[in-house]
Chains A and B, each alone.
Chain A
Amino acid sequence: MNSIRKEWKSFRIVIIYIIIGALWIVFSDKVLGYFVSDSKTILKLQTIKGWFYVLSTGILLYYLIFRQLGKLEKANLRLKESEVRWASYVKNAPNIITVINTDLKIKYTNRINEVSTLDMFIGKDINNFIASESLLSALNAIKRTLSDGSINFYENLFIDDNNERWFTNKVGPVVIDNKIDSLIIISSDITEQKRIKEKLEVERELQSAIFDSIEEGIVVCDENGVLNRFNEATRRFHGLPEKPIPAEEWSQHYNLFFANGINPMKKEDVPLYRALKEGKVSNIEFVVKPVNGEHLSFVSSGKKLINKTGDCIGAMATMHNVTEQKKAENEIRDLYSKLEQKVKRRTEELEIKNKKITESQQALAFLLEDMNESSEQLRKTNEKLETANKEMEAFSYSVSHDLRAPLTRMAGFSSIISELYKDKLDEKGIHYLNRIIASSHKMEQLINDILSLSRISRQEIVKSEVDISVISEEIINKYQKAEPERITDIKIEESIKIFCDPKLITILLENILSNAWKFTSKNKKAIIEIGKAIINNTNVIFIKDNGVGFDVKYSDKVFLPFQRLHTESEFAGTGIGMATVKRIVRKHNAQINVESKIGRGTTFYLTFTNK
């Protein structure tokens, strides 16, 4: 177009010149004919006119040529400058610019440095500089540009000095005279971008893994309040399917309610949206009811999300599942109300009882007054008892000392008479003297027994495990030694152990066994048996003899002091032994029973507690 216009322009100038020239030739002579009629002058003038024409067109031509030449020169200069500038641009361009011919051979590249020279590229096939992985896509793009002149892109991997570098390439046609002369490929190094992208990818994966592993629900929306992220826990809470579904479909799977689980929540009441609008919300209770699932209770807190430049980019809210807690709370509330009812009922009952108690208390107060009087009396009685105890002790002492001393003398002098003055007494005198001696022995026995009884009453008991079989055996052995002529059958069960005071139990056994020994003395063969038995589910120890026995109607009297069931001439004794036994039994909180039949023998049953 440009060149046509230029041609036309030049052509027009020539035509104008021809017209003006022709008009000059035709009309100048005619005009001259009007003014000058002299032919000579006309000839002269015509010559001058011819010279003038030549001169003026010469000047015009000069001017035109001069100007055009100047313009040409300037244009050439500018072109040269532009070429240099463009070469510099291309050379220094941050991108790699490669020009290839239509046969895909490299025509030019700016990829030259200390290592690579232009010779290494020029005339080489572009295929040599594309890694095989990206060759296909590169050739496709290049072919497309070649065929339709469109601009195409491809990515390729370039391994340079063992460095993997990624490039993105733009292929465009260089069109000259409406024909694709060559192709220009502009390559940008995107290795860093790629690395950053990969890093970002990893980061994003980590983030979403963390996001999904949190047991608390987390929901995020964008600045317009459109839900765009749910973590795994939230997906579960809301009953969303396993497979990902678009955010706009989420709300079809659940309904939201206020904490009572009845009133539905509008969008503007949802904690996440409130966080977006209000900037911050905390501890809002609400209920999520998945379409196919149980309703769950949550406590939610949220915050508006602000980027570095201070713009709102959305909001997030956490959801803490409090369903179990709520259930427990409800149970507690139920229990509490039941309890309250119970308490109320009990309180009423108690009030009634209280009334009764108040009445009883009044009665008690009167009773207490009486009791105070009684305890005063008791105190006085105790005092008396203490005095009596002291008197008893003094009495025991005088019995043992003051009564014994004269007895010793009586017996002593009587013995001396019967020894030294035997010859001077007749048989009767000796008999009386012996009676005195016997009586004094009897009295000594009595004193000893009384002392023993009072001593037992005062003695503290110290319990331990005692083998009464061993003790009984020793006692019987002693009796057998004293009267070896007696025929006896003694059966003592082995290892009868009870928890008792060993000293007192020895006294007890001595008393019972001495009776058994004594009351079997008239038998041909005395049988004494000691053993264990279970009577009425209770462990008892029995001491059985086949002696004279006694009438069962006196069995209450057996344990009374000075109470005897036999005459002195039948069996000697003081009547204190069994009273002593009873006292020892009482001191142990034990029990003693007796069974007896005249002529058949007597059995004592002892029941001891374990402790």
Chain B
Amino acid sequence: MVQNKILLVEDNEDDVELVELALSSGLIANQLDVVRDGAEALDYLRCEGNFENRNSKEMPALILLDLNLPKVNGLEVLKEIRSNEKTCLIPVTIFTSSDQEKDIVESYKLGANSYIQKPVDFQKFKEAIQQLGFYWLIFNKKPIN
């Protein structure tokens, strides 16, 4: 099920682990691809660099994007995703610790589908990740082509 793949763009190992934990305790087992910075995320989506051999037809069903990323930051990655014909329809959820108004507004302006601040309480963190999975991977209807 190619469509059920989630791409997590996150530089912090701890956060990657927490997301994995949150997902694994849920009912749906999704395949999670993780990239560590913005540049790598773009390589992944364009099937370039380390991801040269990736099937370019297999696009993730959801991208979880952190904003504070090394090299190319989250907003730039989002802009790139939306401007590329192949990736412009992929749902993108900003998943970050910032709740700055300007980050939220900028994200939506660039075409983010939702914005979630990482909850400090792990119970809520878990719920957020699981609900995101349910919503975007199961309930949400996507264009076939």
Pair from one complex: yes
Q: Using a CB–CB distance below 8 Å, which chain A residues touch chain B? A: 396-397, 400-402, 404-405, 407-409, 411-416, 440-441, 443-444, 451, 455
What is the minimal beta-carbon distance from A432 to any residue of chain B, in angstroms?
A: 17
What is the minimal beta-carbon distance from A610 to any residue of chain B, in angstroms?
A: 30
Range class of the B interface residue count: 10 to 19
Chain B residues with CB under 8 A of A415: 121-123
Query: Which of A400, A401, A414, A451 is the one whose CB lies under 8 Å from B122?
Result: A414
Chain B residues with CB under 8 A of A400: 97-100
Q: How far is the CA of A397 from the CA of B98 in the complex (A)?
A: 8
What is the minimal beta-carbon distance from B114 to any residue of chain A, in angstroms?
A: 18
Is B15 located at the chain interface by the 8 A CB criterion? yes
Query: Which of A402, A411, A416, A440 is the one whose CB lies under 8 Å from B21?
Result: A416
Query: Which of A396, A405, A414, A441 is the one whose CB lies under 8 Å from B97?
Result: A405
Q: How far is the CA of A440 from the CA of B99 in the complex (A)?
A: 17
What is the minimal beta-carbon distance from A160 to any residue of chain B, in angstroms?
A: 118
B68→A411 contact, CB < 8 A:
no
Q: Total number of A-B contacts with CB less than 8 angstroms?
A: 60
Q: Across chains A and B, which 4 residue pairs bring their CB atoms closest together, nearest first?
A: A415-B122, A404-B97, A444-B120, A405-B97
Chain B residues with CB under 8 A of A402: 97
B120→A441 contact, CB < 8 A:
yes
Query: Which of B96, B98, B100, B122 is the one whose CB lies under 8 Å from A412?
Result: B122
Query: Which of B21, B118, B121, B123 is the one whose CB lies under 8 Å from A405?
Result: B118
Q: Using a CB–CB distance below 8 Å, which chain B residues touch chain A? A: 12, 14-15, 18, 21, 68, 96-101, 118-123, 125
What is the minimal beta-carbon distance from A604 to any residue of chain B, in angstroms?
A: 28
Query: Which of B21, B100, B121 is the one whose CB lies under 8 Å from A397?
Result: B100
A408→B15 contact, CB < 8 A:
yes
Chain B residues with CB under 8 A of A412: 14, 18, 21, 122, 125
Query: Which of B21, B99, B121 is the one whose CB lies under 8 Å from A441?
Result: B121
Q: How far is the CA of A451 from the CA of B101 in the complex (A)?
A: 11
Q: How far is the CA of A416 from the CA of B15 in the complex (A)?
A: 13
What is the minimal beta-carbon distance from B135 to any residue of chain A, in angstroms?
A: 21
Q: How far is the CA of A396 from the CA of B121 in the complex (A)?
A: 21
Chain B residues with CB under 8 A of A443: 120
Chain A residues with CB under 8 A of B21: 412, 416
A401→B97 contact, CB < 8 A:
yes
Q: How far is the CA of A402 from the CA of B118 in the complex (A)?
A: 12
What is the minimal beta-carbon distance from B124 to any residue of chain A, in angstroms?
A: 10
B118→A404 contact, CB < 8 A:
yes
A408→B98 contact, CB < 8 A:
no
What is the minimal beta-carbon distance from A476 to any residue of chain B, in angstroms?
A: 25
Q: How far is the CA of A411 from the CA of B118 in the complex (A)?
A: 11
Q: How far is the CA of A444 from the CA of B117 in the complex (A)?
A: 12
Max count, chain A CB within 10 A of own CB: residue among B21, B122, B125:
B122
List 21 A-B residue pairs with CB atoms under 8 Å apart, sorted by A's residue number.
A396-B100, A400-B98, A401-B96, A401-B97, A404-B97, A404-B98, A404-B118, A405-B97, A405-B118, A408-B18, A408-B97, A409-B14, A409-B15, A412-B14, A412-B18, A413-B14, A414-B122, A415-B121, A416-B122, A443-B120, A444-B121
B120→A404 contact, CB < 8 A:
yes
Chain B residues with CB under 8 A of A411: 120-122
What is the minimal beta-carbon distance from A441 to any residue of chain B, in angstroms?
A: 6
Query: Which of B12, B101, B120 is the one whose CB lies under 8 Å from A407?
Result: B120
